[in-house]
Amino acid sequence: MIINHPTLGPRDSAEFTYLGDAALLRRPNPKSETALDDFYSYQYLRDNPAGEHRELWYHEQGDRSWLVVTRNTVTHDITKVEFARDVKQAMIEKAIIKRAKS
Amino acid sequence: MSYSAFRIFKEAITGHKGWKPVWRKPEPQLNYDIIIVGGGGHGLATAHYLASKFDKKRIAVLEKGWIGGGNVGRNTTIIRSNYLLNDNEGFYEFSLKLWEGLEQDVNYNAMVSQRGVLNLYHSDPQRDAYVRRGNAMILNGADAKLLKADAVRSLYPFLNFDDARFPIMGGLLQPRGGTVRHDAVAWGYAHAADKRGVDIIENCEVTGFDIQNGCCVGVETSRGYIGASKIGVAVAGNSSRVMAMAGIRLPIESHVLQAFVSEGLKPLLDGVITYGAGHFYVSQSDKGGLVFGGDIDGYNTYAQRGNLPVVEDVCEGGMSLMPMIGKARILRMWGGNVDMSMDGSPIIDKTDIKGLYFNGGWCYGGFKATPASGYSFAHLLATDTPHDTAKAYRMDRFTRGLMIDEKGMGAQPNLH
């Protein structure tokens, strides 16, 4: 597989290590009342879909960036590659706006 | 129809006109006592043991494709019981004992060949770890023998013994381990289960579960609705997809494991060898091809094919262990989808939905477990209690901190 890195261009997937579902970016709140269950689901349970899957790849043999790659688990087609820090930043901003509204 | 030497003789003199299909092709009935979803090795074994050992009737096995088209026909055919942890070793030793009597039990030639499985070690600490594992095996009733380099050299003189980085210092041998003709395992179990009245329904994909008041009472399939009082799911590789239809999320990721066969060679390797310094294992099939494989590709996938970096890694392992393999050409390679559970060990358990049972999470080691998996799952379905050897394979072990960390890793090495 070739991963089209946002700044370095097309790179061989062998340069990367894989972590799994990008939902892992959404760490549960340890102060929540349901924290025990939330962390169990976070740590161990997976959606594991057949089809489009957003997942974390680490460019270990390159610029050491974390990426969120949107890849099809049936065809291995990669349709989108983003920096994980941008995805996380967008998540935080969205949460702040949501909190401000409520 | 049963198979015997007499039968072969009789058919030979009557022009082989009496052979019949190995199993029937029945139409699905409206309901059954027990439905097994998944007609792979584990599902067929479950049906066979339900009918033969637990005296259950009205059983159906639903398979979306054809019998033997999944991982039971895609593995590297190795059987062994060389595990360290008690929760695993008892189970896999039970499995090996069932393998030893399999052919008589199912009246089918599965070519069970106990040719020995040898795990090589390359350093003093690795030897110590193997001594410990060998002792754990012996304590659980299995067989294990520690070989020094000379003994390994007399068995396999062509290995790369004097490698500067990873010299072969010896190996842990399980003489009772070996290989089995994998397709024949599916056909044998199908034959035996069919003979006891189990309906094996191919081209019948389950598309939904009928769950009423927390109780599973039937399945929607591509061939219509089928009711049942108990439903067992044994679809490793696709467990997450099937269980998602019942609203259950699993501690499982689907990955691909690749395997390879070289062109046919003269007999040179009469056992199974695993390399202790890289991920590579090899045996030779009766047709002469070297059958070998390595690690999983390492990313979520449902494609039954892998990528080139792992091909390179496996071939490097092969070259490092037995340099002469470089002269052979790879004839075929393929991939199979495996359930990677989060601690690397399987699950055989009830679910929160009454009447729905789950068997999966076999990682890259499901084939050798086939008989014990089927027996334990049949035990669970028939008696609602786990079999003695499969007590630890609980669905909730992750919430209770009772992981079975045989290798200290599951789908990824960073979960523990």
Angle in degrees, 0-180, between the axes of helices B41-52 and B182-195, rounded to the nearest 10: 30
Q: Does B310 touch chain A (CB under 8 A)?
A: no
- What local confidence, expressed as pLDDT, does residue B412 receive? 74
Overall average pLDDT of the B121-147 stretch: 97
Among A19, A40, A76, the residue with its CB nearest the CB of B399 is: A40
Residue count (chain A) = 102
| Three-state secondary structure of chain B | CCCCHHHHHHHHHCCCCCCCCCCCCCCCCCEEEEEEECCCHHHHHHHHHHHHCCCCCCEEEECCCCCCCCHHHCCCCEECCCCCCHHHHHHHHHHHHHHHCHHHHHCCCCCCECCCEEEEECCHHHHHHHHHHHHHHHHCCCCCEEEEHHHHHHHCCCCCCCCCCCCCCEEEEECCCEECCHHHHHHHHHHHHHHCCCEEECCCCEEEEEEECCEEEEEEECCEEEEEEEEEECCCCCHHHHHHCCCCCECEEEEEEEEEEEEECCCCCCCEEECCCCCCEEEECCCCEEEEEEEECCCCCCCCCCCHHHHHHHHHHHHHHCHHHHHCCEEEEEEEEEEEECCCCCEEEECCCECEEEEECCCCCCCCCHHHHHHHHHHHHHHCCCCHHHCCCCHHHHCCCCCCCCCCCCCCCCCC
Instruction: Output the pLDDT for position A102.
Output: 81
Could you report the per-residue pLDDT of B374-388, keeping only the tens digit for each? 999 999 999 999 999
Average pLDDT for B50-71: 96
Q: What percent of chain A has pLDDT over 90?
A: 96
Q: What is the pLDDT of residue B254?
A: 96
pLDDT value at position A94?
A: 93
**Chain A residues close to B298, C-beta within 8 Å:** 17-18
Using the Cα atoms of residue B220, residue B223, residue B229 and residue B233 in order, give the sign of their dihedral: negative
Cβ neighbourhood burial of B43 (10 Å; 0-12, 13-18, 19+): buried
Q: Does B88 fall in a domain?
A: no
One domain for residues B126 and B198: no
Pairing of strands A66-72, A78-83: antiparallel
pLDDT of residue B407: 79
pLDDT tens by residue, B333-379: 999 999 999 999 999 999 999 999 999 999 999 999 999 999 999 99
Tell if the CB–CB gap between B411 and A76 is shorter than 8 Å: no
What pLDDT does B61 receive?
98
CATH code of B169's domain: 3.30.9.10
Measured from the Cβ of residue B28, the count of other Cβ atoms closer than 10 Å reads: 17
Q: Under an 8 A CB cutoff, do B412 and A18 touch?
A: yes
Mean pLDDT for chain B overall:
95
Residues 6+ apart with CB under 8 A from A31: none
- CB atoms B252 and A40 under 8 Å: no
Contact indicator for B229, A48 with CB cutoff of 8 Å: no
What does R_g of chain B's alpha carbons equal in angstroms?
A: 21
Tell which of B238, B243, B302, B412 to mutate to test the A interface (max A CBs under 10 Å).
B302
Question: Among A34, A48, A71, which would you mutate to test the B interface (most chain B Cβ atoms within 10 Å of its Cβ)?
Answer: A48
> Alpha-carbon distance B112 to B180, whole Å?
4
Q: Is there a single domain that holds both residue B171 and residue B284?
A: yes
Q: Return the half-sphere exposure (C-beta side, CA atoms, 13 A cut-off) of residue A11.
A: 22
Are residues B331 and B196 both part of a single domain?
Answer: no
Residue range of the domain that includes B174? 111-179+253-341
B399 confidence band (pLDDT: 50, 70, 90): very high
**B228, amino acid identity:** A
| Terminal alpha carbon distance of chain A | 44
Nearest-10 Cα torsion for B85, B87, B91, B96? 10
**Amino acid B288: pLDDT:** 96
Examine residue B106 and state whether it is found in any structural domain, yes or no. no
Tell me if B411 is assigned to some domain. no
Contact A50 B309 (CB under 8 A): no
3-class SS of residue A16 = coil
Q: Residue A6: which CATH number?
A: 3.30.2270.10
The reply to whether B2 falls in a domain is no
How sure is the predictor about B54, in pLDDT bands with cuts at 50, 70 and 90? very high
Mean pLDDT value of segment B45-70:
96
With beta carbons less than 8 A apart as the criterion, state whether B119 and B280 touch.
Answer: no
CATH number at residue B357: 3.50.50.60
The whole-angstrom distance between B191's CA and the closest CA on chain A is 32
Query: Do B260 and B333 share a domain, yes or no?
Result: yes
- Nearest beta carbon to residue A73 from set B301, B342, B414: B301
User: Does B26 share its domain with B175?
Assistant: no
Mean pLDDT, rounded, for B395-414: 83
Confidence of residue B408 (pLDDT cuts 50, 70, 90): low
pLDDT of B415 reads 57
Which has the closest alpha carbon to B51: B238, B200, B235, B214?
B200
Distance CA B279, CA B160 (A): 15
- Count of structural domains, chain A: 1
The amino acid sitting at B24 is R
What integer pLDDT is reported at residue B2 of this predicted model?
Answer: 87
Q: Are B206 and B37 in contact (CB under 8 A)?
A: yes
Asked if B35 and B230 touch (Cβ cutoff 8 Å), the reply is yes
Mean pLDDT (whole number) for B80-91: 95
pLDDT digits (tens, 9 = 90+) for A19-59: 999 999 999 999 999 999 999 999 999 999 999 999 999 99
User: Residue B228: is it exposed, middle or buried by C-beta count within 10 angstroms (0-12/13-18/19+)?
Assistant: buried
CA B105 to each of CA A39, B100, B189, B371: distance values in angstroms, whole numbers, following the listed order? 46, 10, 9, 11
- For the segment A4-23, what is each residue's pLDDT rounded down to a tens digit? 999 999 999 999 999 999 99
Domain that holds residue A16: 2-101
Is the same domain home to B204 and B303?
A: no
Chain A neighbors of B303, CB-CB under 8 A: 73-76
> Does residue B133 belong to any structural domain of this protein?
yes
Number of domains in chain B: 2
Residue B413 confidence (pLDDT): 64
Same domain, B122 and B202: no
How confident is the model at residue B411, as a pLDDT?
75
Kindly tell me if the per-residue pLDDT of B416 is higher than 90: no
What is the tens place of the pLDDT at every residue in B236-282?
Answer: 999 999 999 999 999 999 999 999 999 999 999 999 999 999 999 99
